[in-house]
Amino acid sequence: MTATPARTNPPICPALGTLLVALSAVLWSAAGLFTKGVEVSAWGVIFWRGIFSIGLILAYVRWKDGPGQIRQIRLMGWPGWAVAMIGAAATLCFISAFKHTSIANVATLFACTPFLAALIGWVAFRESTTLATLFAAATAFLGVLVMMSGSVGTPNMLGDGLGILMAIGMATLMVLIKRYPHEPMVLAACLSALITGSLSCLFVNPLDISAQDLWILAGFGVAFAAAHIMMTEGAKVTPAARTGLIGTIETPLAPIWAWLILSELPPMATWIGGSIVLAAVVWNLFTE
């Protein structure tokens, strides 16, 4: 049987890549609202979000590359499998962090991903890192310490720890996606959702959910799929560190959504630490 040839698609220009990364960050900023807006556990959120996102991801792959390209998952190399496994772990930490700490804390930790991406890229692949990025990374680390000082002795410490693991995982994904642009990374994201969805069935009964929560998580699944597709495609033509920097649009947006919709007000340490991190990100963005 002759393999179905991939469709020829025009390459994404850097400007469009930047826009896609920015739009994905806007969608990601609502993740805390979806997660905290339902009664089900983190495992339940992960299951239903995966169910509703996988279909959209597969439909996108079929539209973009043709029906035969879905079978390319069998030819996926170690970078693709690494993205799937690391993405599954990062997703679990990401969703669980929202259940144990404030949305603002998770958003602040996510803002550190560009600096972690730069560090991982340098250690693993000897990618060049500027002094400006190193200075901004040190400043952001100070901001994280200030933020976490407000969580000492509270249940938020668990959520902050999960948020740190999430940031490391997301930074690693950014580096791998940029380093191996020809791997089927969108399919890897689909596989990641299958992994987390399968695991969730071992811990919860996914059918034990209200109709209202099901609708909310359906929206989460669609938003997640759209965000991941845009981030994956945009990151292919955007440097790993800059992908993370643009993605930190989520940092100021997430607490605003939490305040307006959930009336969630984080402690002063979070505001101060988050401001330091955001200032480091913005400064680095304009000095690169």
| Cβ proximity of 35 and 213 under 8 Å | no
User: Which of 19-23, 31-35, 47-51, 72-76 has the weakest average pLDDT?
Assistant: 72-76
Q: Is residue 216's pLDDT more than 90?
A: yes
Query: Is pLDDT at 7 greater than 60 in this prediction?
Result: no
pLDDT of residue 137: 84
Quote the percentage of the chain above a pLDDT of 70.
Answer: 90
Q: What is the CA radius of gyration of the chain?
A: 18
pLDDT digits (tens, 9 = 90+) for 226-271: 887 888 788 777 776 677 667 767 778 888 888 889 888 888 888 8
Residue 50's pLDDT is: 86
User: What would the mean pLDDT of 103-126 be, rounded to a whole number?
Assistant: 85
How high does pLDDT run on average in the chain?
A: 83
Is the pTM here over 0.85, yes or no? no
Q: Provide the sign of the torsion angle of the four alpha carbons 113, 116, 117, 118, taken in this order.
A: positive
84/284: higher pLDDT: 84
pLDDT in tens, 37-79: 899 999 999 999 888 888 887 888 777 766 666 566 667 778 8
Q: Which residue has the higher pLDDT, 146 or 134?
A: 146
Using alpha carbons only, give the angle 181, 52, 92 rounded to the nearest 5 degrees: 70
Q: Measured on CA atoms in the order 270, 276, 277, 279, is the torsion positive or negative?
A: positive
pLDDT of residue 212: 93
CA distance 51 to 217: 9
Joined tokens for residue 79: 């970078």
Indicate the pLDDT class of residue 95, thresholds 50, 70 and 90: very high
Reduce the secondary structure of 84-114 to three states and give it as a string.
HHHHHHHHHHHHHHHHHCCHHHHHHHHCCHH
The mean pLDDT value for 147-160 works out to 83
Secondary structure (DSSP) of 160-177: HHHHHHHHHHHHHHHHHH
pLDDT of residue 16: 85
